[in-house]
Amino acid sequence: MIDLIVTDTPAPADRDAILDGLNDYNRAETGGDDAQPLAVLIQGERGVTTGGLLGRTWLGWLYVELLYVPDGLRGTGVGRDVMLRAEAEARARGCIGIWLNTFSFQARGFYEKLGFTLIGQIDDYPIGHQRFFLQKRL
């Protein structure tokens, strides 16, 4: 017998059990276990991080999980430089592409200027907006 529990407070061990099971399955199916974090940090005075990119390379692709450029640096080329540094590292790691997602109120046009193309969209997520999925082949 099994129980199905609905909760908004899963324990860290619950997350670990799900993640470990999924990772084991993925490794068995792909033969890959090359996940590696990647960060490009924007640092100001005294080395304090004010923004940047967090992602990971895995199975030949870079996934950009988070990108934040502080208000005062937007439009100065810093965001482009962050993305180009991440792309260069992805190439060095042997990646064939980069993928990410963004919302309609965020930076779709920015990514498209960098050569990304739309590969998927969810309308009304959040309601009144869209979520976009983009990729760039290297």
| DSSP letter string, the chain | -------S---HHHHHHHHHHHHHHHHHHH-----EEEEEEEE-GGG-EEEEEEEEEETTEEEEEEEE--GGGTTTTHHHHHHHHHHHHHHHTT-SEEEEEEETTTTHHHHHHTT-EEEEEEESSSTTSEEEEEEEE-
- pLDDT tens digits for range 99-111: 999 999 999 999 9
Query: Taking the complete model, does pTM exceed 0.75, yes or no?
Result: yes
Contacts of 27 (CB under 8 A, 6+ apart): 33
Domain residue extents for the chain: 35-137
- pLDDT tens digits for range 32-82: 888 999 999 999 989 999 999 999 999 999 999 999 999 999 999 999 999
- pLDDT tens digits for range 127-137: 999 999 999 99
Residue 57: strand pairing partners:
36, 62
For residue 22, which phi and psi values (nearest 5 degrees)? -65, -45
What are the structure tokens assigned to 45, written together? 């005075």
- pLDDT confidence of residue 86: 98
Decide if 64 contacts 39 (C-beta within 8 A).
no
* CATH number for the domain running over 35-137: 3.40.630.30
Higher pLDDT, 31 or 101: 101
- What's the CA gap between 33 and 114, in Å, rounded? 29
- 5 residue type, one letter: I
- What's the CA gap between 73 and 75, in Å, rounded? 6
